[in-house]
Amino acid sequence: MKSTTTPAAWLLAGLALLAGASFAFAGSVTKSSPASTATKATAAVSAPTGHDVPQHATFAMGCFWCAEATFEGRPGVISVTSGYTGGTKLNPTYEEVGTGKTGHYESIDIVFDPAKTSYQKLLDIFWHNVDPTQGDGQFCDRGSEYRSVIFYHGEPQHQLALATEKDIEASHQLRKPIVTQIVAASVFYPAEDYHQDFYRKNPARYHEYRTGCGRDARLQQLWGKLDTHAPGIE
């Protein structure tokens, strides 16, 4: 797994391994996993048109630990799963995705109740929790597997994603062009179990990672405020 540069203030030594996840603190942070466990792939589904059945929203926002924490517990959100999508490798492992050679992105798949929240609301949360102008990853995580992407399920989601992108561009709040990709959803592979709900299982390590990666500092700089829902944000 490739290492990613982090701010010097975050370089700590001696963190214990957890379920095979290790952090390198010699000027970089590395996340790695144990041998792959069987996962159940979820085929891309088109969002139903009614308001009485759950729908899917799939986003890539850099580190999926942070992305998952951003959406879990929101009104109308039924579940959030960390995983991999967008590539060609069947049943990819964390290590394989980390090479950047599988074409997959660290992603989350959200199941939501359209009677309690809207896809447009989820898009608003997405945009304000990524750096849409960063093309080489997200925050300290560099590599194609960390880029921000909206994976739309059906044409209505596609048009909403494009409309929200245009609204942000028209606001002139961002000083650089938006490079977030908007592409059709494909097969989603859930990540290994220890990645799921990482912020709950390992809050100290999660907070160290989030702070050290400069995520919140950059979001504050971009948007002028922070979405205080996500754990780790004061």
Q: Which pLDDT score is estimated for 49?
A: 54
Domains in the chain, start-ordered, CATH in brackets?
38-202 (3.30.1060.10)
Contact 130, 138 (CB under 8 A): yes
What's the rounded mean pLDDT across residues 19-40? 36
User: Which residue would you say has higher pLDDT here, 84 or 11?
Assistant: 84
* Res 47: pLDDT: 59
DSSP string, 16-40: PPBTTB----SSEE-----S-----
Q: Quickly tell me which residue has 């390992």 as its tokens.
A: 202
Average pLDDT over residues 91-115: 97
User: Percent of the chain having pLDDT more than 90?
Assistant: 74
Using only the alpha carbons of the chain, give its radius of gyration: 17
**Paired tokens of 14:** 């001696």
The Cα 105–Cα 97 span in angstroms is 7
Enzyme catalytic residues? 63
- pTM for the structure as a whole: 0.81
**pLDDT at position 50, please?**
59
* pLDDT at 29 exceeding the cut of 50: no
Q: Is residue 116 within 8 Å of residue 110, measured between CB atoms?
A: no
Q: Report the pLDDT value the prediction gives residue 48, as an integer from 0 to 100.
A: 56
- Mean pLDDT, range 206-226, rounded to an integer: 95
What average pLDDT does this structure show over 40-56? 74
Alpha helices in the chain (DSSP H): 64-71, 94-98, 119-127, 155-171, 198-201, 203-212, 215-223
Quick one: pLDDT at residue 36?
37
pLDDT at residue 51, rounded to an integer: 63
| pLDDT at residue 104, rounded to an integer | 98
